[in-house]
Structure 1
Amino acid sequence: MELFNCNHPTVAVHKSHATEPTFYYFAYGSCMCPVDLKRSLQEKTHTYVVGPATLQGYRLGFYRRSQRRQCGVLDIVKDSRALVHGVLYALPLRLSPLLDAREEGYVHEQVTVDCQGQRYAQTRTYTVSDKLAYELAPNDWYFGVVLRGALTCGLPEHYCWQLFNHMHQLQQIDLKAAKQAG
């Protein structure tokens, strides 16, 4: 079975939606996975993928506890020395309310991202509104969906390993703390 590859040269923004108003959306967490994003937006999102993108001046961290997922989930925080890789989508504006509902606990932030040699200003992303003071480990499901999105959509291998190692390290810290507590 072949997995969908966002980097495949034939992938382009869906032509039938070309006349619809759209907005650019930079995903860096579970929404990088078009299959998972489909769950919330109630339609296939593969065709809205523009490609792998980078956001300068930010870094990732797990500074939010998701009540729905019962684990730490990704956020971005400003850091002039850092870079976040993610996926750029050109989504129909009609999907904005569904995306906002999925991203409960986050607020819109307008950023500029680079994708396939072009700059995309006024790109929407989401950042946690009430950040934790510490990082909270993701659960296995969230870990998997984030990695699946990163790998499927062609983020650099070294970055995928960084994601893996960071999430694994947080889980190991949680496991050690749980063993000591009980």
Structure 2
Amino acid sequence: MTVLIVVESCFGNTTAVAHAVAAGLTRTVPLETVSVVHPAEAPVALPGDVRLLLVGAPTHAFSLPRPQSRREAGEKGAQDVDLPGVREWIERVTPSKDLHVVTFDTSIKTRFVPGTAAKASSKALKKRGFRHVDRGPGFFVTATEGPLADGERERAEAWGVQLGRDLNGSPGRTGNSTG
């Protein structure tokens, strides 16, 4: 059994969330079974032992990052802006119909949010052919470049603990644990 976390991050905030989720998961599942990878390094043919796939990205213009939004982030100091992101990885990945997938994102907290990276990636994964896709939580940053808002790293870790408990308690699909 493994958990694969595919995460795109421009300023490191979404990666920080992914590592906090991984830390929470490893409280209930073995450390060596949890992997955090950038979409450019993520397999397009998912290994058969993956029981849970988490997909995370920063919200850009109420959706997943695009090449143009990555370039704009690069002008503000973002890293890895020339690498393919979650959007491009989803377009290439071979769907696994029985695999449980949960999406998450980071964004600036606003009063009205018409869309998020988690929502967009959830829709794209379903369209690609994944059947068991849940939209997980969004985590907040204080500004475009970050950092994470107070308490978000801890909330991500707590969500990881819950995902691990759900995974251990179920022989198949885990519940939608948004913590």
TM, length-normalised to structure 2: 0.31
TM, length-normalised to structure 1: 0.30
